[in-house]
């Protein structure tokens, strides 16, 4: 090859059209996800493989596959776990019956429930002890919702998913009411549902502290900023990740012309980039940063990319690991 001729790698870049890529701050792992993953990793280090995990530790395929490679075995229920191996409960929380069953079998179990989910459980129990009926705003079937419903006897909590559900909800008898929310919901959608409930039940008290977690709030605010001026927003995250799905919805609502949820760079459809000059990139709270960087690299291989970090407050929250893993 002529020494002066452009290499196959540099030639396409020389002719590539410009593309501005804006990176959301914050994005990716939150403290609860980081803690949950560490619990599985430390358990494998301390007790050896296999370590069993009830349900996906967090909702991300790449995280789950990596932990499988280290020796984690993911199961749906405790009856799939042997008596002589540790079991980890996922970050989404579990019904009270699950640790009760584990204790009855004398299993070594480690609870990776996010402390902010545990806060919702504690509030629900407090309301129940005060004789209140609880309205839970969330998505039916989501593990976090299943776990919260399972903290109290059947009938103590009513699930409300939509504004229509809020309009149709009937108070059981003359019971006082309280409400709680899934931690990964859209702030705007939840506010609308709460508004309907409060218009019908003006005495409905707010939680002591907002149930939607800081990480969900921060990522949604960041993606609103990202969407303003972005032709396309890419959200890195898995389809079963509630907070990741919400980021796509928030981006579209905030003015992005298009927004897509992708597990990784392999899922990018380059036809999305037709007529696109500015792309925003963010990641759900359970998506690892290397996946985000791989998406950026894929765009750099096709376009003359100018990278820009959106301003935002870095997160400094951390949660302690269970004592069984630190002593």
- Which sequence positions are flagged as catalytic? 144
- In degrees and rounded to multiples of 5, residue 69 shows phi and psi of -65, -25
Residue 224's closest CA among 191, 190, 193, 186? 186
* DSSP type of residue 95: -
Give start and end residues of each alpha helix (H) in the chain: 10-15, 31-47, 61-70, 97-104, 115-129, 143-149, 163-168, 187-200, 214-227, 242-253, 289-300
| Whether 58 contacts 33, CB under 8 Å | yes
State the greatest distance between any 2 C-alpha atoms of the chain, in Å, as a whole number: 87
| Whether 181 contacts 211, CB under 8 Å | yes
Residue 308's closest CA among 289, 280, 327, 285? 280
Residue 155's closest CA among 168, 138, 181, 173? 173
């Amino acid at each position: 090859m002529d020494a002066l001729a452009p290499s196959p790698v540099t030639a396409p870049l020389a002719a590539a059209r410009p593309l501005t890529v804006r990176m959301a701050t914050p994005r990716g792992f939150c403290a609860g996800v980081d803690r949950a993953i560490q619990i599985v990793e430390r358990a494998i280090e301390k007790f050896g493989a296999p370590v069993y995990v009830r349900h996906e530790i967090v909702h991300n395929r790449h995280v789950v596959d990596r932990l499988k490679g280290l020796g984690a075995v993911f199961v749906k229920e405790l009856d799939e776990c042997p008596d002589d191996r540790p079991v980890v409960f996922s970050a989404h929380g579990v019904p009270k019956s699950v640790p009760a069953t584990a204790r009855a079998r004398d299993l070594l179990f480690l609870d990776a429930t996010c402390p902010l989910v545990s806060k919702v459980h504690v509030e629900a129990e407090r309301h129940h002890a005060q004789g209140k009926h609880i309205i839970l705003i969330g998505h039916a079937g989501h593990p976090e919702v299943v776990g919260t419903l399972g903290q109290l006897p059947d009938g103590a909590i009513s699930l409300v998913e939509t504004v229509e559900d809020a309009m149709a909800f009937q108070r059981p008898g003359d019971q006082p009411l309280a409400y709680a929310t899934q931690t990964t919901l859209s702030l705007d959608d939840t506010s609308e549902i709460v508004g309907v409930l409060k218009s019908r039940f003006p005495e409905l008290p707010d939680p002591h502290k907002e149930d939607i977690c800081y990480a969900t709030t921060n990522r949604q605010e960041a993606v609103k900023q990202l969407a303003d001026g972005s032709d396309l927003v890419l959200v890195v995250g898995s389809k079963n990740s509630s907070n990741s799905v919400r980021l796509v919805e928030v981006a579209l609502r905030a003015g992005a012309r298009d927004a897509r949820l992708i597990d990784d760079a392999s899922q990018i459809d380059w036809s999305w980039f037709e007529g696109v000059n500015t792309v925003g990139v963010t990641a759900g709270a359970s998506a690892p940063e290397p996946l985000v960087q791989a998406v950026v690299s894929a765009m750099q291989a096709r376009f003359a990319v100018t990278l820009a970090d959106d301003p935002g407050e870095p997160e400094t929250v951390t949660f302690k690991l269970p004592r069984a893993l630190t002593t």
